[in-house]
C-alpha cells in the first residue's frame, strides 16, 4: 500500500468549486429539506419532490463526467455535500449517496458505452434513480453467499431470487442486481445485471418499517424468471462480485460522510441549545459537564471529517482507498452514534421529543453502522489490510 502518512504539500484549503457545492447543499438542506423532515419521518414518506429538485440541481450525479450528464465534481465536494444534506435529512442524503457512488460510479467505471448512454445518462441527470441490490435474506455481511441466480440462456439471463433491504427499492427505475450464474465458481461465478423496473417477473415487495431514515424507501425485491438481456451484464462473465466490492469501497465514503453529517447536525443543535437553556442560574454551556461534552463532540467530528476527506482525496488521486474508506466509515458511524446520544442528553427532556430533531438524528445514526458493510465488516477490511502490510 502506498505511504500516505507523509503528504507533501498538505493543504486544507477548499477550492471555490468545493465551497460553492457545499454552500448550495447547505442552503438546500436548511431551506428545502428542513421544513418537512419531521413529518416525512413520522409518515415514512419518501422525499420525492425534494429528490427531484436535488436531481435538477445536479446532486444525484455530481461526480459523473459532464459528457454523461453529470456535474464533473470531485469526491471532496461529494463529502462536503453529503455532510450538509445529512445534517438535516439522512433519508434524502442516502438517495444522493446510493445514486452517486453505488450506481453512477459503478456504471461510469465498468459499464460499456452503450450501457452508459442508456442507463448512466438519465441517472446522472437525476431523471431516474438507481438501486444497488446485493443483500439477501441469507447474504448480508457474507456477501459471497448469493442465492439469487442468473442462469445463462444464450442471449439472456433468467433471474430468480429475493433481495432485501434495498434502498430506493420502489422509487428506482434502474437496479444493479448481483446474482450467481455458476455456483461451482463461488464468488467468481457472480454477475451484475442491469434490471429495469417493469421487466416481467420483477416484483417490488414490502416496504420496511424502520427505526431510522424512515423517509427512505427500503424494500424487498423479488425476481421470478425475469429475462435480462445479456447486453445488460456489466463487465466480463463472473465480474459481479469484484464489481460489488470495488463499488462499495467508494460507497463507504458516502455513508461515512452521511454519518459525519448526522453527527455534526446533532452537535450544532446541542451547541445552540446549550447557549440558550438555563439551569442553576446560568446557561448549561457554562456548566463544565455540558461544555466537556461539546468539546468531545467537536473533537471527534473533526477527526471523522478528516478521515472522510482523506479517503476522498485518495480516490481523487486514483490511489487505493479501500482501507481509508473502511476507516472513515467505521469511525464516523461510531462518532455519529456517540454524538447523537450525547446531543439528546444535552437537550434533556426536549431531546426525547420529535420537535427538537436530535431524537431523529439518533435513530438515523444507527443505520450508518449497518449498511454498506457493518462496523464488523469494516474491521475485517481494515485488519486484513494492516496485517497484509
Ligand atoms: N476490491 C476488489 N476486490 C475485492 C475487494 C475490493 N475492495 N474486496 C474483496 N475483493 C475480492 C477478493 O480479492 C476476493 O477475490 P479473489 O478470491 O479473486 O482474491 C473476493 O473479493 C472475495 O473476497 P474475500 O475472500 O475477502 O471474501 P470474504 O467472504 O472473506 O469477505 C467481505 C468479504 C469483505 C466480508 C465482503 O463480503 C463484504 O464487504 N461484505 C459486506 C457487504 C456489504 O457491504 N453489503 C452492503 C449492502 S449494499 C447497501 O447497503 C447499499 C444500500 O442500499 C445503502
Spacing, Cα 141 to ligand 1 middle (Å):
9
* pLDDT tens string 278-331: 999 999 999 999 999 999 999 999 999 999 999 999 999 999 999 999 999 999
Q: What are 136-175's pLDDT values in tens digits?
A: 998 999 999 999 999 999 999 999 999 999 999 999 999 9
- Whether ligand 1 lies within 6 angstroms of the CB of 242 is answered as yes
**What residues form DSSP beta bridges with 167?**
218
User: 211 CB under 6 A from ligand 1?
Assistant: no
Residue 293, judged by CB atoms within 10 A of its CB (0-12, 13-18, 19+), counts as: buried
Element housing 132 (H / E): strand 130-133
Write down the residue that cell numbers 453527527 correspond to: 263
- How far apart CA 235 and CA 146 sit, in angstroms, is 18
CA of 373 to the centre of ligand 1 (A): 9
- Write down the catalytic residue from 50, 300, 359, 372: 372
Residue of 138, 139, 143 to mutate, ligand 1, most atoms within 8 A of C-beta: 143
Report pLDDT digits (tens) over 170-195: 999 999 999 999 999 999 999 999 99
pTM to 2 decimal places? 0.97
CA dihedral of residues 24, 27, 29, 34 (deg, nearest 10): -170
**372 assigned to active site:** yes
β-bridge pairing 174-180 and 130-133: parallel
Amino acid at each position: 500500500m502506498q505511504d500516505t502518512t507523509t503528504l507533501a504539500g498538505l493543504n486544507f484549503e477548499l477550492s471555490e468549486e468545493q465551497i460553492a457545492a457545499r454552500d448550495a447543499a447547505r442552503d438546500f438542506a436548511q431551506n428545502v429539506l428542513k421544513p418537512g423532515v419531521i413529518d416525512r419521518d413520522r409518515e415514512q414518506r419518501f422525499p420525492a419532490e425534494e429528490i427531484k429538485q436535488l436531481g435538477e440541481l445536479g446532486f444525484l450525479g455530481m461526480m459523473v463526467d459532464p459528457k454523461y450528464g453529470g456535474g464533473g465534481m470531485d469526491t471532496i465536494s461529494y463529502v462536503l455535500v453529503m455532510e450538509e444534506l445529512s445534517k438535516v435529512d439522512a433519508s434524502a442524503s442516502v438517495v444522493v449517496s446510493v445514486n452517486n457512488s453505488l450506481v453512477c460510479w459503478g456504471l461510469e467505471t465498468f459499464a460499456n458505452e452503450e450501457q452508459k448512454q442508456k442507463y448512466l445518462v438519465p441517472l446522472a441527470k437525476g431523471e431516474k434513480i438507481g438501486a444497488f441490490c446485493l443483500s439477501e435474506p441469507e447474504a448480508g455481511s457474507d456477501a459471497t453467499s448469493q442465492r439469487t441466480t442468473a442462469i445463462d440462456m444464450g442471449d439472456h439471463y433468467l433471474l430468480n431470487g429475493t433481495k432485501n433491504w434495498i434502498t430506493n427499492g420502489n422509487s428506482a427505475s434502474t437496479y444493479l442486481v448481483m446474482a450467481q450464474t455458476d455456483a461451482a465458481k463461488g464468488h467468481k461465478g457472480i454477475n451484475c445485471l442491469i434490471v429495469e423496473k417493469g421487466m416481467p417477473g420483477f416484483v417490488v415487495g414490502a416496504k420496511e418499517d424502520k427505526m431510522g431514515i424512515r423517509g427512505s424507501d427500503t424494500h424487498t425485491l423479488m425476481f421470478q424468471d425475469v429475462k435480462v438481456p445479456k447486453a445488460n451484464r456489466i463487465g466480463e462473465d463472473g465480474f459481479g462480485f469484484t464489481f460489488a466490492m470495488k463499488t462499495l469501497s467508494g460507497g463507504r465514503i458516502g455513508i461515512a460522510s452521511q454519518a459525519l453529517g448526522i453527527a455534526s447536525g446533532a452537535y450544532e443543535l446541542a451547541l445552540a441549545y446549550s447557549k440558550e437553556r438555563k439551569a442553576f442560574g446560568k446557561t448549561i454551556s457554562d456548566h463544565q459537564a455540558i461544555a466537556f461534552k461539546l468539546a468531545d463532540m467537536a473533537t471527534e467530528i473533526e477527526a471523522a471529517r478528516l478521515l472522510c476527506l482523506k479517503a476522498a482525496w485518495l480516490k481523487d488521486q486514483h490511489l487505493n482507498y479501500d482501507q481509508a474508506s473502511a476507516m472513515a466509515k467505521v469511525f464516523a458511524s461510531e462518532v455519529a452514534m456517540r454524538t447523537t446520544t450525547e446531543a439528546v442528553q444535552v437537550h434533556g427532556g426536549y431531546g426525547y421529543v420529535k420537535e427538537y430533531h436530535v431524537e431523529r438524528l439518533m435513530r438515523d445514526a444507527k443505520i450508518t453502522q449497518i449498511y454498506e458493510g457493518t462496523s464488523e465488516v469494516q474491521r475485517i477490511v481494515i485488519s486484513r489490510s494492516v496485517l497484509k502490510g
